[in-house]
Structure formats: C-alpha cells, structure tokens
C-alpha cells in the first residue's frame, strides 16, 4: 500500500530584497521550494530593471512551497516577522521603494485569516514600537525573477551585500529558530 504525498501549500511573501528572504526560507525545515519573483504590480512579466524604477507597482517577493504537515503557515509568518522589519513602509534598511514593501500575498481565505491573526497578535504584544505596515492582499500578477536572482546568497555568499546584509539575517533566523533549521 503506497501512501500519497502530503499536500503542499504556497504562500508569497515580500520582506524587502528577495535575496535576504530567499536565503532565510531556503533553510527552513518544511519549506520544499523557494523562488524569487515579483508580484502585485501592474506590468506583465516585468524585468528586474523595470522593478527597480518603482513604477511597476511590484514587490520583490519569494514564493514558498511548503508542507503544512512539517511547518504551519503561522510558524512561517512568525519567522517572516522576525527576519525583516514590518514597520517601515516601502523600505528595508537602505533598500527604499515600493518594491521593498512588506507583504503577505495570499492564495486562500484561510491564509488571510492566519496572516491577519498573526499581525493582530504582534500589534497587541507591542513587539515593535511602530505599527505593522505589512500589506495582506490576494496574490496578483506573479512572475518569476530572472535566473541570476535564484539562490543568489548560496551562489554569492562573499558578495558585499550578501556578506553584510543577507548573512546577518540568515544568522538571526538560525539562532532564533534553531529547531526549524533544515538538517
């Protein structure tokens, strides 16, 4: 008797530069695939150069395929809210523009309920001194980023931005969520 594989789920997250977000979620137990891309803008299949102008309306995002039997959406969002600053509108560190906004792009009503609940809990806990500005919206107009953006940190760990910005975020994840790091 063969067992059928457990169903997977997809969520799309914007936490600033997708190199950072991808590098963290690549290391999360239960995350089966991470893809850098662009979503929730007006232009069809934009290029990175177009995204950088800030005129397409897209956010830099990662599309996560995960196994809910191994990790819940709530746990993924808890990680998400620790590894980026959800209180800065259209900005993460020195990266400024609408493409760097904080966003949770949902594919179901159930995902919206979880996202809204986690944000309410963060707000109630006063974890941050400023309000959470993370947008929660239905996923729209997603496209995969260029091949050279995929696995960027893995392929360029000593590149300046990776060493000084991405690396510390990965380390923070590994320390804060040690039990969630892939073996």
pLDDT tens for the chain, 183 residues long, are 555 566 999 999 999 999 999 999 999 999 999 999 999 999 999 999 999 999 999 999 999 999 999 999 999 999 999 999 999 999 988 889 999 999 999 999 999 999 999 999 999 999 999 999 999 999 999 999 999 999 999 999 999 898 999 999 999 999 999 999 998
Q: What is the pTM of this model?
A: 0.94
Which pLDDT score is estimated for 183? 87
Structure tokens at 3: 């067992």
Phi and psi (nearest 5°) for 125? -80, -10
Report the relative pairing of strands 31-39 and 91-92 from DSSP bridges.
Answer: unpaired
Nearest to 17 by CA among 78, 73, 138, 101: 101
Q: How far is CA 107 from the centre of its chain?
A: 14
Integer Cα distance of 166 and 173 in angstroms: 11
* 3-state class (DSSP) for residue 137: strand
Q: List the catalytic residue out of 17, 20, 52, 162.
A: 17
162 is catalytic: no
């Amino acid at each position: 008797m063969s067992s059928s594989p457990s169903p997977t789920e997809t969520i799309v997250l914007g936490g600033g530069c997708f190199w950072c977000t991808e590098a963290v979620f690549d290391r999360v137990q239960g995350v089966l695939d991470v893809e850098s891309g662009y979503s929730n803008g007006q232009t069809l299949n934009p290029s990175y150069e177009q995204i950088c102008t800030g005129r397409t309306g897209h956010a830099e995002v990662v599309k996560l395929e995960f196994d809910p039997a191994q990790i819940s959406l709530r746990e993924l969002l808890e990680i998400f809210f620790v590894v980026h600053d959800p209180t800065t509108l259209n900005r993460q560190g020195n990266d400024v523009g609408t493409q760097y906004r904080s966003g949770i792009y949902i594919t179901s009503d159930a995902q919206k309920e979880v996202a809204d609940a986690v944000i309410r809990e963060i707000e109630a806990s006063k974890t941050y001194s400023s309000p959470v500005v993370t947008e929660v919206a239905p996923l729209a107009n997603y496209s995969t980023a260029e091949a050279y953006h995929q696995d960027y940190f893995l392929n360029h760990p000593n590149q300046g931005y990776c060493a000084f910005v991405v690396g510390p975020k990965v380390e923070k994840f590994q320390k804060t969520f040690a039990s969630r790091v892939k073996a």
